[in-house]
């Protein structure tokens, strides 16, 4: 039994998708982010960084979206990506980590450009970050086009949520990412959007009828 | 040119440049006795942007590891794949914390340190000081949490764990490469990380790699700019 500490349309959406896809029993614990729940001692005991998501496991609590996905991947092999030891695992891990440590942080800076260089430089920082992000997405798009096996749901769920944010929540509208420029990514995310897991999570979190594909 | 390291016939080729992120993988392989061969990526000629290298890693980042399952890019991915392949997981009860801190190193600490190395990719020319201060403040937070983690889970931060070379290299690079100053960095503020740096310096594998990449006598506790026998760090 897992307990996922979550909030709608936070990074927990990614791990929520994975848990539904795996089909293991879990409990969703929505945290009152605006009410200061993440600053409480109780939450910090679960996640010292004070971010969403965190997950309680039979082995204790853990945090970091990507770490939770890989933990689930190790415990339920073959659902989110090629099983450990299987062919294609090397390429899958390469691009999974690229999504988590390059595309995810850049997406956060696109949504919060004031975190790059302060309030006064938001507009210029947003433009820099958007260009970096487009370059990173281009690498991934070409890799996906050449190797459809990379489109396992672990990468797919992660990308779907990030692509949603890049379209909808860019602080500077003109710097929002146009998914049409990345056809392989768009195709993967459209496929993910139609899965039962995505339909369930979109409903549960109130993300709307086309949460990942329509800006 | 390259070289053989570890036991037996190498089944891996590590594409490396001195004092680049390949150093993390190299240290990990040395400790685990994983046989590998190195292939220099010559940054003086921009080899990381060559068509040949881009076939291994389309993002043009170092390292890449060639394996029987094809090439792997991304330090964290390489460490995870080797951990799986060579049965190097920690105690199963520590799987969660191991993954959590590995990704914290990769996604938070390494990603923010990169902002200090390449600020022009993240902020306009007029706001470099503000960008520097914000990224540096985040690094101080990251090292504080990693210090607490190393105290809480010493078994996860021994030199044999993938977390140790990753953390040690971030400490080293923090002291050497940020543009806009390193005044924010003070190893003595983080006693568990300081102990980790000293423990890494004392490892025979570290000494071998320090010699191969020209990293000096105490590459983690007292870093100096590299004087590599081949290739260039930047």
A171-182 tens-digit pLDDT? 999 999 999 999
| CB < 8 Å to A104, chain B | 107
Q: Is residue B7 very low, low, confident or very high in pLDDT (cuts 50, 70, 90)? A: low
pLDDT in tens, A181-207: 999 999 999 999 999 999 999 999 999
Residues A162 and A94 in one domain: yes
Same domain, A186 and A95: yes
Same domain as A169, residue A145: yes
Task: State whether B104 and A94 contact (CB < 8 Å).
Answer: no
Structural domain including A175 reads 89-195
pLDDT reported for residue A100: 94
User: Does residue A204 fall inside a structural domain?
Assistant: no
- A63 contact residues in B (CB cutoff 8 A): 100
Alpha carbon distance B145, B152 (integer Å): 10
Average pLDDT over residues A44-71: 94
Identify the structural domains of chain B with CATH numbers, from first to last.
1-88+204-234 (3.40.30.10), 92-201 (1.20.1050)
Query: Does A176 lie in the same domain as A107?
Result: yes
- Give yes or no for residue B220 having a pLDDT over 70: yes
Q: How many CB pairs under 8 A join A and B?
A: 154
Question: Which residue, A152, A27, A136, is CA-closest to A91?
Answer: A152
Please list every residue in chain A whose beta carbon sits closer than 8 Å to the beta carbon of residue B126.
121, 124
pLDDT of res. B207: 97
User: In chain B, pLDDT over 70 holds for what percent of residues?
Assistant: 96
What's the pLDDT score for residue A62?
A: 95
Is A125 inside a domain boundary?
Answer: yes
Residue A70 shares a structural domain with residue A93: no
**Segment A145-162, tens digit of pLDDT:** 999 889 999 999 999 999
> Is A96 found in the same domain as A50?
no
Taking the CA of residue B57 and the nearest CA in chain A, the distance in Å comes to 9
Let me know whether A71 and A95 are in one domain.
no
pLDDT for the residue A121: 85
Is residue A151 located within the same domain as residue A176?
yes
- What interface predicted TM-score (ipTM) does this complex get? 0.91
Considering CB atoms only, which of B77, B99, B148 is closest to A71?
B99
What's the structural domain count of chain A? 2
Closest CB to A139 among B58, B96, B103: B58
For the domain that residue A100 is a member of, what is the CATH number?
1.20.1050
Q: Which of A21, A44, A75 is the last residue of a domain?
A: A75
Percentage with pLDDT > 70 across chain A: 100
Q: What is the mean pLDDT of chain A?
A: 94
Find which of B71, B74, B85 to mutate to test the A interface (most A CBs within 10 Å of its CB): B74
Q: Do A121 and B131 touch (CB under 8 A)?
A: yes
The answer as to whether A47 is a domain residue is yes
A156 in the same domain as A121? yes
Q: What is the pLDDT of residue B1?
A: 36
If asked whether residues A146 and A104 sit together in one domain, one would say yes
Would you tell me how many other CB atoms lie within 10 Å of the CB of residue B9?
Answer: 8
Query: Cβ contact (<8 Å) for B81 and A90?
Result: yes
The answer to whether the CB atoms of A93 and B85 lie below 8 A apart is: no
Q: Is the domain of A114 the same as that of A171?
A: yes
Q: Out of B107, B123, B148, whose CB is closest to A121? A: B123
Question: Same domain, yes or no, for A150 and A61?
Answer: no
Q: How far is A146 from chain B (nearest CA, A)?
A: 12
CATH of the domain at A9: 3.40.30.10
Residues of A with Cβ-Cβ distance to B127 under 8 angstroms = 117-118, 120-121, 124-125
A68 assigned to some structural domain? yes
- CB A109, CB A125: distance < 8 Å: yes
Domain boundary at A16, A44, A75, which? A75
For range B26-36, the mean pLDDT: 96
- Split at pLDDT 50, 70, 90, the class of B117 is very high
- The predicted model gives B17-42 an average pLDDT of 96
Residue B2 has pLDDT above 70, yes or no: no
Structural domain includes residue A202: no
CB-based contact A85 B127, cutoff 8 Å: no
Cβ-defined contact of A57 to B84 (cutoff 8 Å): no
**Local confidence band at B177 (pLDDT 50, 70, 90 cut-offs):** very high
Q: Is the pLDDT of residue B54 over 50?
A: yes
The pLDDT score that the predictor gives to residue B5 is 60
């Amino acid at each position: 039994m897992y307990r996922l500490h979550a909030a709608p349309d936070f990074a927990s959406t990614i791990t929520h998708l994975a848990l539904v896809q795996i089909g293991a029993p879990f409990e969703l614990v929505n945290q009152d982010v605006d009410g200061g729940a993440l600053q409480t001692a109780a939450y910090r005991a679960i996640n010292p960084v004070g971010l969403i998501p965190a997950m309680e496991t039979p082995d204790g609590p853990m945090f970091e979206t990507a770490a939770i996905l890989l933990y689930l991947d190790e415990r339920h092999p073959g659902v989110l990506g090629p099983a450990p030891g299987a062919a294609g695992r090397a390429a899958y891990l390469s691009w999974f980590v690229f999504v988590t440590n390059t595309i995810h942080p850049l997406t956060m800076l696109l949504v919060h450009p004031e975190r790059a260089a302060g309030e006064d430089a938001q507009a210029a920082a947003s433009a820099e970050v958007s260009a970096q992000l487009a370059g990173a997405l281009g690498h991934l798009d070409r890799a996906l086009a050449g190797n459809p096996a990379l489109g396992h749901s672990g990468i797919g769920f992660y990308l779907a949520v990030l692509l949603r944010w890049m379209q909808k929540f860019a602080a500077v509208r003109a710097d929002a990412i146009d998914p049409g420029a990345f056809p392989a990514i768009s195709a993967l995310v459209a496929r993910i959007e139609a899965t039962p897991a995505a339909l369930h999570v979109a409903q549960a979190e109130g993300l709307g009828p086309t949460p990942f594909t329509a800006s | 040119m390259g070289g053989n390291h570890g036991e037996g016939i190498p089944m891996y080729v590590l594409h490396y440049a001195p004092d680049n992120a390949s150093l993390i993988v190299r240290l990990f392989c040395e400790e685990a006795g994983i046989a590998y061969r190195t292939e220099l990526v010559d940054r003086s000629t921009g080899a990381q942007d060559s068509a040949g290298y881009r076939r291994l890693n389309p993002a043009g980042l170092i390292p890449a590891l060639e394996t029987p399952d094809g090439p792997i890019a991304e330090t964290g991915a390489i460490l995870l794949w080797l951990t799986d392949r060579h049965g190097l997981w920690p105690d199963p009860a520590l799987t969660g914390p191991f993954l959590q801190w590995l990704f914290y190193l990769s996604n938070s600490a390494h990603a923010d340190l990169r902002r200090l190395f390449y600020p022009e990719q993240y902020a306009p020319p007029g706001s470099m000081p503000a960008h520097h201060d914000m990224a540096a403040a985040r690094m101080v937070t990251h090292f504080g949490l990693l210090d607490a983690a190393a105290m809480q889970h010493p078994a996860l931060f021994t030199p044999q764990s993938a977390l140790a070379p990753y953390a040690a290299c971030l400490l080293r690079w923090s002291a050497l490469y940020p543009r806009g100053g390193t005044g924010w960095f003070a190893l003595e503020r983080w006693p568990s990380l300081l102990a980790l740096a000293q423990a890494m310096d004392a490892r025979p594998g570290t000494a071998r790699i320090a010699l191969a990449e020209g990293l000096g006598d105490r590459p983690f506790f007292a870093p100096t700019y590299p004087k590599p026998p081949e290739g260039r760090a930047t």
